[in-house]
């Protein structure tokens, strides 16, 4: 990495925000999950997303083009798998919300299978890993900034900064979902949130392929 640890830290922050800020299906899922469960669950899910970004960033720093070439042949199937999983989550969320709303269930009963911090972390980690474009993105940035050789300290700083940037943004999304959950405390509000987020997630999931 050129520019030493200081330059690597700034580059890592910019790279992390660059991959995290664009709103997609994962971001919509994170916000709606937090709104329907708790900030603790949402924070765990946010760290799951950031962990995947950090892992892909580390792979790009270590492997460079070799990792990108390894991922490229399976990028299509991975996107299809991500779309199927996200559509399944959207359908389940909408169906569960409708069923409990019709039966007069409490808002706590409309949670999905990601209702614990551990499950939320692993679930969002797995979903984010299914997005192979992340490693391609980081690889392009890493190769663009490399000089003749890569300094180990700068490489570590770059990865840590990218993880921190992604984590801060995902936690901000989770906090927004937590505030939304506090505002929509009634059954109708929770139902509208669940159905609305399901539609958004489904549309963005299809966008992974289209």
In SS3 terms, the chain reads as: CCCHHHHHHHHHHHHHHHHHCCCCHHHHHHHHHHHHCCHHHHHHHHHHHHHHHHHHHHHHHHHCHHHHHHHHHHHHHHHHHHHHHHHHHHHHHHHHHHHHHHHCCCHHHHCCCCCCHHHHHHHHHHHHHCCCHHHHHHHHHHHHHCCCCCCHHHHHHHHHHHHHHHHHHHHHHHHHHHHHHHHCCCHHHHHHHHHHHHHHHHHHHHHCCC
Domain count, the chain: 1
pLDDT confidence of residue 1: 54
pLDDT grade for 76, boundaries at 50, 70 and 90: confident
Write down the pLDDT at residue 147.
46
- The answer, yes or no, to whether residue 210 has pLDDT greater than 80, is no
Residue 149 has pLDDT above 60, yes or no: no
Q: What's the confidence (pLDDT) of residue 119?
A: 93
Least confident piece of the model among 22-36, 43-57, 90-104, 119-133: 90-104
Asked if the model's pLDDT at residue 154 lies above 90, the reply is no
pTM higher than 0.75: no
The boundaries of the domain holding residue 112 are 4-207
Q: Looking at the predicted structure, is the pLDDT value of residue 158 above 80?
A: yes
Highest mean pLDDT among 57-71, 83-97, 123-137, 139-153: 123-137
pLDDT > 70 fraction of the chain, expressed in percent and rounded: 67
Do 8 and 158 contact (CB within 8 A), yes or no?
yes
């Amino acid at each position: 990495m050129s520019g030493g640890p200081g330059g690597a830290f700034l580059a890592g922050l910019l790279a992390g925000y660059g991959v995290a800020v664009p709103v997609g299906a994962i971001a919509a899922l994170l916000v709606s999950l937090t709104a329907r469960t708790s900030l603790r669950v949402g924070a765990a899910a946010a760290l799951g997303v950031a962990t995947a970004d950090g892992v892909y960033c580390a792979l790009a720093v270590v492997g460079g083009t070799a990792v990108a070439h390894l991922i490229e042949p399976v990028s299509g199937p991975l996107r299809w798998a991500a779309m199927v999983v996200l559509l399944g989550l959207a359908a389940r969320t909408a169906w569960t919300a409708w069923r409990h709303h019709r039966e007069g269930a409490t808002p706590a009963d409309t949670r999905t299978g990601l209702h614990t911090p551990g499950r939320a972390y692993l679930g969002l980690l797995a979903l984010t890993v299914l997005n192979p474009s992340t490693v391609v993105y980081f690889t392009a940035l890493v190769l663009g900034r490399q000089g003749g050789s890569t300094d180990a300290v700068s490489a570590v700083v770059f990865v840590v900064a990218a993880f921190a940037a992604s984590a801060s943004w995902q936690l901000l999304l989770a906090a927004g979902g937590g505030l939304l959950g506090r505002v929509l405390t009634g059954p109708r509000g929770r139902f509208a949130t669940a159905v609305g987020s399901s539609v958004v997630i489904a549309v963005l999931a299809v966008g992974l392929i289209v």
